[in-house]
Structure 1
Amino acid sequence: MFISKRKYVELKKILNSVIEESRTKQLELESKIIHNDAISRLNREIETTNQCIMGIEKNKLGDILAVVTPKEQSYEQIMLYSLKDNRYKALNNHPRLYARQVGNNTIKIDDIFSQENIRSSGNGTILLSYLKKEAIKHGYTQITGWLSSVDKTNFDKLEYFYKKNGFNVLFSKDGNNGKIYLKF
């Protein structure tokens, strides 16, 4: 059977397209299996420390993260675990947020930890979003916190970060510290 060169080129394009689509679907399926396996291993690991997975998120760097908290205090400590590279491992030593109840209707943020070189990853925003969800779920009416004089050189970045996440930011008259708050 004779096939013209033009017809051969068309058939080859179609075949290459089908092969590429098949490879893409295979990679997507492998990725889902890998992430499900990583989540299962992480779940077994944190179960021994009485923690639970609150959700799965993707940060600005493309890392897929498990949002984890102790079972008993669902908002007092929120940490991020990376599910990257088909294994359970900490992403920059577990970015985490510490908060506690003050009064009947307020949660106070004590600290948010993240490595200096990964500050624009979106990890802090993920942590705050889960804290806000938990606060609303448990009937709190506000979240507060302080900007310490220790962080004075980063006040511009911190002000932007908190305002971007819906908080009000007030600085002291001398500019050495500040208060953040969010009312629901």
Structure 2
Amino acid sequence: MEAGGEVSKAKEHFVLVHGACHGAWCWFKLASLLQGSGHRVSCIDLAGAAGSLVNPNDVRSFDEYDAPLLQFMAALPDAHKVILVGHSAGGLSVTHAMHLFTDKIKQGIFIAADMLPFGFQTEQDTKDGVPDFSEFGDVYDLNFGLGEDHPPTSMALRKEYQRTILYHQSSREV
């Protein structure tokens, strides 16, 4: 208890993981609010994401994609526990980290996120982990860094669909 009878609350360390077609930048407002409340916040750019120095077409596996998060988690002190937060496809990265670093995670939070119990294990998991936007038509620009006869190595939601699909509740700030 603190003076005046108030219960002191321990401040948390939040690790925020973006979804597909995003980067750590998408957490700016939430990170600012959490930091303003005294919490520690780390926003991770996964490999090939908007803020990453890695070319998305050079990322060849989910392990490579998650490498920045996994390296961050590995570098945390042993007794340090974080609240891991994933949005959209970032839920897959959160699941991956939860399996590898159970002793460093206090809680996992999935915000409108993919929640495959074991990450991508089967071809069906891959299908289940990709949102279905077919009602809007062809919404993605796909890049085939390994050639047209291989799965895409990166994707971006076309600009004309971004407000309709992702940002329909966001203010129109300049």
Higher percent of residues as strand:
1
TM-score when normalising by structure 1: 0.26
Mark the structure with the bigger radius of gyration: 1
